[in-house]
Structure 1
Amino acid sequence: MNDEVSSPADLLPAQPGHRLARGVARMLLGMGHAPLLEFVPAPGLRVDVISVTPSGEIWIVECKSCRADFTGDRKWQGYLEWCDRFFWATDCDFPVELLPEDNGLLVADPYGAELAQMAPVAKLAAARRARVLRDIARVAACRLVRVNDPGAFTQG
């Protein structure tokens, strides 16, 4: 019997889309980005990965693990107004011909990702950029506090 305890770095997320998001986040960190997983830019929208580049661009990456995952998604076009660049992330077996050609593409697995196609830039308006950056900072800070002090949010 193996008594070794796995480290958090060894644990893989159960869902395929979450595995892709993990690989995407690793790639983005390697590029100097600040990625945040499962971010809500507006009510009714939840992006898989949002990232702030070293130059301040905001990228959104939507992870798709299979054909049904893509064809069942009706919200992704609403994400475009919340970023400077929009990317799809898929595994190497995904039928990429299904994806719109005018978006970026990352090919990912749980351990990393590669940039297959750069997304065109569509610069956010200054007020929208300020709001998104503020919201990213607030969500990230609260998540960090929860990791370091899980009871902090239960105090009345």
Structure 2
Amino acid sequence: MIELWNWRIERRVAATEIRPALADALRVPVLPLGAIDPADIPQGAMLVDVWHRPGDFPTSVDCYAVPADLPEVVAVAAFARRLRRSCLLPDDTLDAGRHLLVTADGTIRPVHLDVRETDDGEILSNQRLCTVLSPRCRGWSPCHQSRWSPDSVLPALAAA
């Protein structure tokens, strides 16, 4: 099975800044998607597509041919630390508004965002923590079915 990682980054970040940060954080060659003949892709290289849209996390990053032995949360934590920006990745609930926030120090916690579809793509806004203090996250909710239950925090050192 080929795995794909989809991340969002706070503020606009150029692809020319993202690719070297990924390569350094993950210790793999990182190439732009579509910029090279598939026959010329080096063994172990990751392909990355970057684009921008509106919202609180406007930079989108898609990673293809990701390292099989590296958990995604560990990869994004290393990347967020290297880039010094918070990142979002989808969580395991299939709730479009629930994500994992990976802060610039590599700490991971579940959050909710408002999601609005537009002609320019999906816009995320109004970030708030996933916590049992929120009526949306109490009781029988998708939040409690997740590996990342409300109020869970994976500190930076554990995420490394």
User: Is TM-score (shorter-chain normalized) higher than 0.5?
Assistant: no
Which structure's residues are more often helix, by fraction? Answer: 1
- Normalised by the size of structure 2, how large is the TM-score? 0.27
Which structure's residues are more often strand, by fraction? Answer: 2
